[in-house]
Amino acid sequence: MRMKNKYRKPTSLRCNAGSRCSSSVLLWSLVGCLLMLHLYSYIRDQDVHSQESHLHIGRHPEILELEQFEEDSIQIPPPRKRSPRAAKRKPRKVHTSLIEEFLDESSQIRHIFFPDQKTAIDPMSDNGDETHFYYPGRIWLDTTGNPIQAHGGGILYDDRTKTYYWYGEFKDGPTYHAHKRAAARVDVIGVGCYSSKDLWTWKNEGIVLAAEENDETHDLHKLNVLERPKVIYNDKTGKYVMWMHIDDTNYTKASVGVAVSNFPTGPFTYLYSKRPHGFDSRDMTVFKDDDGIAYLLYSSEDNSELHVGPLSEDYLDVTETMRRILVGQHREAPAVFKHQGMYYMITSGCTSWAPNEALAHASESIMGPWETIGNPCIGGDKIFRHTTFFSQSTFVLPVHGIPGLFIFLADRWNPADLRDSRYVWLPLTLGGPVDQPFEYSFGFPLWSRVSIYWHKKWRLPFSWRGKE
C-alpha cells in the first residue's frame, strides 16, 4: 500500500505562501505569450498589407499596362558587299558596336534609329485607333505639319491657361563644325514654344526668345550656344522665368542665362548670363518645389559634379547657398522630379551628342546628399538600356491626376543633322526596391526604384487623355 508522505517532494511545481506557482499558471502564461505573439504578428501583417495596398492605391490601375516589359533588339548588319575597286577607294568602316552604327549617317540600319518622314506622327491627320500614340524616335509634327523643334526642352503646365507649354532649342538650321575638332552645332535660332491640352497635339507658338543676328557681343548671338531652356512660373511676381545654358562656340563661357516674360508664349526679355556661384555651368535644369522655392541644378567643375542651390524669390537669380552633389560622377542632362516627398533625378554620362547610360538618383532633400540608385531603363535589350534607348534625358513630367506616373522626355540627338534629332518619350513609374547599394543612407531606403519602360508605341491611360 502506498502511503501518502507529507514530506515527499510534490511532482507538480508548487510554492507556498504568496508565490503560488502551479503548472496551470505556467500553462496560462504560455498561452498568454502565444496569444501576444499571434496578436503582434497579426498587427504586423495588417501593417504590411496596408502599406502594400497603399502602394496599389498610389498606383493607378492603368499604370500597370505601361509597366509591361517590351523586348526589342537591333542586330549589327553584316558588312555590305562591295566591288574590289570601291573597297580600295574607301576602306570599310567596321562597326563593333551599335553606338558606332547609330552615329554613322550612312548606316544600313539608320531607319531604325531615325525612321523616315513616311512614319511621322501627325496628330492632325485621321489617325483612327492610332490617336494619341507616342512613337519614340519618329518624326513628330506640330498642328501645321512641321516637325516639332523643341530639343533639350522642358514642359510647363500653366494653371492659368490650363495648357501645357513645351519649350526647347529650335534647331531648324544646317549642322556644321566650327572647327575640325569641335562638336557638331547649329547656329542659335532661339527657343521654340509649343502649346497643347493633351500632350500629343502641339501648336507652334513661335520663337519666344530669339537669337541676336548682328551684335557679336550679345549672349544670344547666333554663333554662341543656347541649350536646355526651362521655364517656371513665379506665383509671387506673376512672371514666367526662363533659365538656359549659355555658352560660346567652344563651350568655355559655361554660364546660365535668364529671361522673363508676362506670358507663357512670350516674348521673353533676355536679362543676363552669369557663372552661378562663381562656377562653370553647362547642362542645367530648374525645379520648382511645392512650397514655391525653385532650384537651379547644373553640371560643374568640368562636368565632374553637379551643383544645386535655391533661386531668389523672384527666380531671377541664384542665392549664395550652393551644395555640391554627385561629386566625381561626371553626369549631365539633369531632369528632376518629386514623388511622395522624395526627390529624384535622371542624368546622363558626358559623351557629347552620343548616347550613353542613364542613371537615377534620389534624395530626401533637393540639396542632397543624393544617392545614385542605378540604371532606370527597362525593356528593349541590353544596348537599349545602356544607351537610354539611344537618347539623353532632358525632363520628367508628372502626369497630373495619376500619382506615380511620369513621362520621361529625352532627345535622340542626330549629330549629322541636329535639326532632325528625335524625341523619346516613355512612361516612368516608381516602385519596388532600388537595385544599387547606398552611399549615404543606412537601413531601409525611403525611396523607390525608378523605372523607365521601353515601348515602340504607347499612350497615356484612356481616363487621362484630353483631361485638363
Q: In angstroms, what is the minimal distance from the CB of 354 to ligand DGJ?
A: 9
Q: In angstroms, what is the minimal distance from the CB of 114 to ligand DGJ?
A: 18
Cell of 417: 543633322
Map the footprint of ligand DGJ across residues 57-86, applying CB under 6 A: none
Q: In angstroms, what is the minimal distance from the CB of 81 to ligand DGJ?
A: 35
Nearest to 395 by CA among 454, 349, 306, 335: 335
Number of residues in the chain: 468
Query: Beta strand 450-453 with 377-378: parallel, antiparallel or unpaired?
Result: parallel
Our CB check for ligand DGJ shows the closer of 251 and 263 to be: 251
Our CB check for ligand DGJ shows the closer of 142 and 227 to be: 227
Q: In angstroms, what is the minimal distance from the CB of 332 to ligand DGJ?
A: 5
Q: In angstroms, what is the minimal distance from the CB of 76 to ligand DGJ?
A: 25
How far apart are alpha carbons 332 and 322 in whole angstroms? 17
The position carrying cell 497615356 is 460
Interface with ligand DGJ includes 332 (CB under 6 A)?
A: yes
Our CB check for ligand DGJ shows the closer of 308 and 333 to be: 333
Q: In angstroms, what is the minimal distance from the CB of 334 to ligand DGJ?
A: 10
Interface pattern 179-198 for ligand DGJ (x via CB under 6 A): ----x---------------
321 CA to centre of own chain: 25
DSSP 119-135: G-B-TTS--GGGTT-B-
Map the footprint of ligand DGJ across residues 195-254, applying CB under 6 A: 227-228
**Number of residues in contact with ligand DGJ, rule: CB under 6 A?**
10
User: Any long-range contacts for 293-296 (C-beta under 8 Å, 24+ apart)?
Assistant: 294/232, 294/234, 295/336, 295/366, 296/243, 296/256
Nearby residues of 220 by Cβ (< 8 Å), 6 or more positions away? 188, 190, 209, 210, 211, 212, 226, 246, 257, 270
Interface pattern 129-168 for ligand DGJ (x via CB under 6 A): -----------------------x----------------
Q: In angstroms, what is the minimal distance from the CB of 181 to ligand DGJ?
A: 12
Interface pattern 390-429 for ligand DGJ (x via CB under 6 A): --x-------------------------------------
Our CB check for ligand DGJ shows the closer of 143 and 356 to be: 356
DSSP 368-417: SPPEEEE--EESB-HHHHHTTTT-EEEEEEE-TTSTTEEEEEEEE--TTS
Single residue of 333, 345, 426, 428 touching ligand DGJ by CB under 6 A:
333
Interface with ligand DGJ includes 283 (CB under 6 A)?
A: yes
Our CB check for ligand DGJ shows the closer of 220 and 405 to be: 220
Nearby residues of 41 by Cβ (< 8 Å), 6 or more positions away? none
Nearest to 333 by CA among 423, 393, 397, 387: 393
Give backbone dihedrals phi and psi of 425, rounded to 5 degrees, phi first.
-110, 130
Beta bridge partners of 405: 429
Indicate the residue type of 412: R
Our CB check for ligand DGJ shows the closer of 234 and 392 to be: 392
Q: In angstroms, what is the minimal distance from the CB of 234 to ligand DGJ?
A: 25
Our CB check for ligand DGJ shows the closer of 141 and 256 to be: 256
Map the footprint of ligand DGJ across residues 351-370, applying CB under 6 A: 352-353
Beta bridge partners of 147: 141
Interface with ligand DGJ includes 305 (CB under 6 A)?
A: no
Q: In angstroms, what is the minimal distance from the CB of 346 to ligand DGJ?
A: 12
Query: What residues make contact with ligand DGJ under the rule CB under 6 A?
Result: 152, 183, 227-228, 283, 332-333, 352-353, 392
